Structure 1
Amino acid sequence: MLKTSLATKLQVMLRTNVLFKFVEDVTNNCIEDKSLIRHSMDTLNEIIKIGVLENPIISNIYIYYSDKSNKIIGKLVIEIDWERHEIHLSSNKNIEVDSDLSPAGQVSQILNKTLQYTRDVMKKLNVTRVEFQYGIDEKFKRKMENDEDSKKIYSSMPFGESNADLNKRTSEYNSTDFKISIRPEKMDEVKLTLTHNT
C-alpha cells in the first residue's frame, strides 16, 4: 500500500518546465523581505515565464543587494546554458519529480541551504534594496536580427533595471570576500553564483 502511495506522487516533467520552476524558486526565495525588491515579484515572474518557460531568451539573471548608502554589497547570478539544455532535450532527458515537493529542490540537494544562507547573510548585512537585470542569449539576439516574431516576443517582456545609476553601481562592485557557485546535480545547464561583502 505504501509503494502505491509513493508511486502516485511521482511525475515526469519536461526539462524546460523544471528549469523554469528552478529559476522561479531561486528568484522568489533569495530574499526574505519582498518589499525590498524595487519591482514587484509579478514583474520578475513574468520575465522568467516569457524568457525561460516560453522562449530561450534569458541567459543570465542578476540580482543585486544594496545597503542603506545604495552601495551594492552582494550579487546572485543565475546562468542558463541553452545549448546544453537543447542537448538534454534532444536526448529526451525529462526529469522525474515528486509532485508534492518543489522541483527545484529535487534537482539540487544544496539549493535550499544556499537560499537560506543567502537570506540570512543579506539580512545580517542590512540589505535595504534589491534590484535585478537580465542578459539576453546570444543565439536569440542573432535570431531577432531577421525574425519579426522574435522581436515581438522580446518587446513584450517587462524590463529589469537598466538605468545609468544601477549600471554605475554594478561596475563598482567587485567583491572577493565570499563566493560560492552551484551547478545542480540533475540540471547542469543552470548555474548559481553568489558573492557578497563581509
Structure 2
Amino acid sequence: MNPALPQEPTDGFAGWTADLMDALGGPGAGLAIALENLFPPLPSEVILPLTGFAASQGVLSLVSALFWTTLGSVVGALALYWIGRVFGRERMHAIWAKLPLVKDSDLERTEKWFAEHGTKAVFLGRMVPIFRSLISVPAGVERMPLPTFLTLTALGSLIWNSVLVMAGYWLGDQWDVVETYVGVLSKVVLVLVVIALVAYVTVRLRGRGHARHRRTP
C-alpha cells in the first residue's frame, strides 16, 4: 500500500485532490487534471504542485506523477477538441453572424490566422493559464489533424506539468507557494484579455459611429 500524504490539506479542492491521490495514486492525479482541463476554474496550480509533493513523500513516483498528469491533460484537451469538431465551422459562423459588433470577415481572418499559426498556438497555449484549456476548441473547429493536435498537446502539457510538479516536489510541504505565483500570472492574463476585449469593442463602436456619420447627409 502506498503511504498517505503527511500533513495533507483537508479542506476544499486541495483536500479532495489529496484524497484522490491517496486512494488512486497516479491515476487520481490524472483524473483531477483531466477535470481541470474540462472546467478551467479548477486550479492546475493546486493539483500539479500537490502531485509533486505527493511524489516527494512516496505516495507515487515522480515518473508516475508526470505520466498521469500529462495523460490527464491530453484526455481533457481531447474532449474539448471533439466538442469543437462536432460543433463545426458552419454553426460557428451562424452564431457569429448573430453577435453584435462583429463581422464575418473577422472570423475569416481568425480562421486564416489559425491555419497559419495553429500549431504554435496549440503548443504554446498549453503553457498559458486560462488558454491552456480553451485553445483545444478552435483546434477542433478548424479540424486540426488529430495526430498533430495530440502530439502538440502532449508536449506542451508535459512542459507545463513538469515545471509545476517539480516545483511541488522540491518545495515539499511549502508546495502551496506555487499557487500564489501562478495565480498572479493567471490574473495578469485575465486582465490583458479584458483590456483587449474592451479595446476591440471600443474600436468597433467608433467605427460604426464614423460610418453612420459619413452616411448622414
TM-score bracket, normalised by the shorter chain, equals under 0.3
Which structure has the highest helix share of the two?
2
Give TM-score scaled by structure 2 length: 0.25
Q: Which has the higher contact order (CA 8 A, sep 6+)?
A: 1
Which structure has the highest strand share of the two?
1
Give TM-score scaled by structure 1 length: 0.27
Higher Cα Rg: structure 1 or 2? 2
